[in-house]
């Protein structure tokens, strides 16, 4: 199942400081509910995991988060998330594009999900992803 979501966020931080926060994966990944960095591969790539809840079901996803594009002048960055279900056959992959502007920015998420999570149905998956990203956007201004 594939889905695309768009969100905005606001912050009082200067745009350069917000951009630096997005590129700092050790600070960014834990801002996702249930997310943690398990190993720093290099400054642009970390191994990470997330405990995700979907209704009564929960699952652990293990994988990598990597900065694949960055345009310092435009304050734009693209992150690639590749993960798999721990003990399962499914995966959750995403490309997340951050476009910053004074006072906040926009986030575009293009996600592909298979396995147990996808079996919950598109409405549930989109609802959970939307809530997860909305929570993340409230934390962005604080990291």
- Within the chain, which residues score under 50 in pLDDT? none
What's the pLDDT score for residue 15? 95
Quick one: CA torsion of 124, 129, 131, 135, rounded to 10 degrees?
A: 160
pLDDT at residue number 128: 87
pTM for this one?
0.92
Number of domains present in the structure of the chain: 1
DSSP string spanning 53-107?
Answer: EETTEEEEEEEEEEEEEEETTTTEEEEEEEEEETTSS-EEEEEEEEEEETTEEEE
Q: Which domain holds residue 58?
A: 2-140
Q: Give yes or no for a contact between 109 and 125, defined as CB atoms under 8 angstroms apart.
A: no
CATH number of residue 119's parent domain: 3.30.530.20
């Amino acid at each position: 199942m594939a889905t695309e979501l768009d969100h905005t966020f606001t912050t009082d931080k200067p745009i350069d400081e917000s951009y630096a926060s997005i590129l700092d994966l050790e600070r960014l990944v834990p801002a996702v509910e249930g997310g943690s960095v398990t190993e720093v591969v290099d400054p642009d790539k970390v191994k990470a995991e997330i405990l995700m809840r979907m209704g009564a079901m929960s699952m652990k996803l293990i994988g990598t988060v990597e900065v694949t594009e960055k345009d310092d002048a435009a304050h734009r960055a693209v992150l690639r998330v590749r993960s798999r279900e721990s003990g399962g056959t499914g995966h959750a992959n995403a490309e997340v594009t951050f476009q910053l502007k004074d006072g906040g920015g926009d986030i575009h998420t293009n996600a592909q999900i298979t396995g147990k999570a996808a079996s919950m149905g598109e409405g549930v998956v989109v609802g959970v992803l939307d809530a997860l990203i909305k929570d993340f956007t409230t934390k962005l201004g604080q990291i």
